[in-house]
Amino acid sequence: MGTKLIIDTDPGVDDAFAIALAAVSADVDLLGVTTVFGNVPLAMTTANARRLLQLCDRPDVPVAAGAARPLVHRNERNSTVHGVDGLSGRAGSLPEATRPLEPQDAVGLMVSLLEASDEPVTIAPIGPLTNVAALLAAHPGVRDKIARIVLMGGGMAHGNITAAAEFNIWADPEAARRVLSEDDVPCVMVPLDLTHRCAVDSAWLAKLASSGPIGKALDALTPDYLAHYRRVLGYDGIVMHDAVAVAEAINPGLLRTETYPVNVDTSAGPSRGQTLVDRRPALQDPGAQPGRLIEVATDTDLDGLREFVLTRLIEAR
């Protein structure tokens, strides 16, 4: 029945687009959604994820709550770009979830789903990597059940929450280092450099808004996010970071990738949370870099990607 997928998320306006993309795609077997602190505190990200699945008429998808804070260093700062409740203050406009929250926590649900799956599962982390690092650390036996991890995070040229760091990595650098540099599960990193190039404009959002109830509800979640990205982009538009990663997760090869070693700065200095993508040419020589290599998404057919996401959301079941 298509790609088996678990999304780990902190909704988040762009998370909302990403969850909806997977939830309405008939060729995706969305096994579960797990939540993590991030854009807003855990109780809000969890409530938002549940309401978003209800919006998409997917009460069959279990939701489990995970980490409320980073693995090592506590960090009270949330993102400010998604509004007070993570959805531009409009979370209450989404339908209430009919399915109860799972009694298991996020790691417990991921383990159950992975163990029960008859084929490898893709995990798409689109928030801080705390839950995924805990999964890999505490349950090494489930690695074989993970087809690949396709994550939104990191930046090559610059950050967004600081000059050096992208938000998801900065929010829990130790967890990110575990997943990106210290493990061996196949991993695709979708960095800021590419997600920004996939930004969508007001015409794209207008087409989405006029497509039906799901598109209209998603567009209604964007005002605060749009206000932020208007300043960043210089035009009316948004960067749908997380939907770019989920598009690759459900349609492998949609993004072009290059293979590099990636490290994460876990120091306490100004570069904390920076992803160091080692693009030195000599490292491309066969045998020059025996260490862990990550597929970094560097390019795509930008209009094709925008059209892929829009068409899926418009053709919601």
Binding site for Ca ion (CB under 5 A): 10, 12, 15, 126-127, 242
The CB-nearest residue to ligand BDR is: 167
Please identify, using beta-carbon distances, which residue of 242 and 248 lies nearer to ligand BDR.
242
Please identify, using beta-carbon distances, which residue of 12 and 173 lies nearer to Ca ion.
12
- Residue 219, contacted partner among Ca ion, ligand BDR, none, CB below 5-8 A by kind: none
Rounded least distance, CB 171 to ligand BDR, Å = 8
Rounded least distance, CB 241 to ligand BDR, Å = 4
Please identify, using beta-carbon distances, which residue of 229 and 308 lies nearer to ligand BDR.
229
Structural element, H or E, at residue 136: helix 130-138
Binding site for ligand BDR (CB under 6 A): 12, 14-15, 39, 79, 126-127, 152, 160, 166-168, 241-242
Phi first, then psi: what are they for 203, rounded to 5°?
A: -65, -40
* DSSP-based three-state secondary structure for 259: strand
Please identify, using beta-carbon distances, which residue of 83 and 127 lies nearer to Ca ion.
127
- Residue 228, contacted partner among ligand BDR, Ca ion, none, CB below 5-8 A by kind: none
Please identify, using beta-carbon distances, which residue of 15 and 193 lies nearer to ligand BDR.
15
Distance CA 140, CA 156 (A): 29
Rounded least distance, CB 186 to ligand BDR, Å = 21
Do the beta carbons of residue 11 and residue 43 sit within 8 Å? no
- Residue 170, contacted partner among ligand BDR, Ca ion, none, CB below 5-8 A by kind: none
**What residues have CB less than 8 Å from 273, skipping those under 6 apart?**
159, 161, 162, 164, 165, 166, 169, 170, 171, 173, 176, 264, 265
> Where in the sequence numbering do the catalytic residues fall?
241
Rounded least distance, CB 78 to Ca ion, Å = 11
DSSP-assigned states of every residue in 194-247: HHHHT-EEHHHHHHHHTS-HHHHHHHTT-HHHHHHHHHHHSSSEE--HHHHHHH
Rounded least distance, CB 79 to ligand BDR, Å = 4
Measured in Å, how far apart are the chain's first and last C-alpha atoms? Answer: 15
Closest CA to 5 of 129, 146, 191, 130: 146
Longest dimension (CA), the chain: 55
- Residue 167, contacted partner among Ca ion, ligand BDR, none, CB below 5-8 A by kind: ligand BDR
